Amino acid sequence: MSEGEFRALRDMIREEFGIFYDDGKQFLLQSRLAVRLAKAGLESFEAYCGLLRNPRTRESEIRELTSVLTNNETYFFRERAQLRALVGSVLEEILKERPARPLRIWSAACSSGEEPYSLAITLMESGRLRNGDFEIYASDISDRVLALAQRGSYQSLSFRATEPGMLQRYFEPIGNEQKLKGDVKRHVRFFRLNLLDEQAMAAVQAMDAIFCRNVLIYFDRPTQKRVVESFAKRLTQRGFLFLGHAESLFHVTDLYEPILQPDTIVYRRRVKEGRK
């Protein structure tokens, strides 16, 4: 990969994904893109730049590229303290407003579905909401993981933090996999969305809470700011934002206030004067 190709590719990647490869990371980027070059049957990075610039191939290649730039690591009941916070004081605050509609929660980088399904199970288990009283929206940039999520059948690694009782109640074993039962699935709606696509983001409205965990770490700070400030517009006036435990809004934005919960932090949208 020449210096010029490196710069051209990293600029495209920064614009499209918010992931920045500095000068010291040329080799890392090169080795990641080599996987895509091989799959696309191309012999040079110059040809690969062409693939990304060509309007006919750009969109589908961008989708494929995501899987080599980020990882899809996830599992059921990840960061349980946050799930406890959700069905504890967060739910209490949301219900205080008595919304005359089902509760709306968005899992904004849902990978293969373990996160949104965990949210649905946790809300069902809480006993505080009737069936039909909540909706889980779940999106990811990658079609591949969304297809897995819709299939709803998982191997043992996905259950590394799942209690056996939960497994029995909500899944049925089929071969060496565990298939999710239908009553959990019907609470979750999947769709494809790139968090950097402002137009697509604008279609999402009035969420009571957003889970965006373990994806901001891939973005540079300006992109993190752009995404979480867009989330503020997708939330209800006092909605909640949950980030991964290695992610924080410190030095990123002041649109949210951090709220300390047992073993975790939850962010809540601030009401600013004159702002709805």
Binding site for ligand SAM (CB under 6 A): 17, 66, 70-74, 78, 109, 111, 115, 140-142, 145, 194-196, 213-215, 244
CB 264 within 8 A of CB 82: yes
Please state, in angstroms and as integers, the Cα–Cα distance from residue 125 to each residue in 118, 119, 129, 216, following that order: 10, 10, 9, 29
Show the CA angle centred on residue 262, arms to residues 75 and 124, nearest 5°. 50
Is there a catalytic annotation at residue 32? yes
- Among candidate residues 10, 78, 140, 234, the one labeled active-site is 140
Q: Which is closer to ligand SAM, CB of 17 or CB of 106?
A: 17
Q: Which is closer to ligand SAM, CB of 221 or CB of 275?
A: 221
For the chain, how many residues are written?
A: 276
Closest separation in Å from C-beta 73 to ligand SAM: 5
The rounded Cα 175 to chain-centroid distance in angstroms is 29
Q: Which is closer to ligand SAM, CB of 178 or CB of 194?
A: 194
For the chain, counts of helices (H) and of strands (E): 12, 10
- Among candidate residues 32, 192, 238, 268, the one labeled active-site is 32
* 258 Rama sector, left if φ>0, alpha if ψ -120 to 50, beta otherwise: beta
Quote the CA–CA distance of 139 and 220 in Å, as a whole number.
Answer: 21
Q: Alpha-carbon torsion 81, 83, 84, 88, what sign?
A: positive
Amino acid identity of 7?
Answer: R
β 188-192/134-140 pair status: parallel
Q: Which is closer to ligand SAM, CB of 208 or CB of 247?
A: 247
Q: Which is closer to ligand SAM, CB of 136 or CB of 145?
A: 145
Closest separation in Å from C-beta 74 to ligand SAM: 3
Two tokens, residue 225: 């700011």
Amino acid identity of 152?
Answer: G
Is there a catalytic annotation at residue 220? no
**Which amino acids are annotated catalytic?**
32, 140
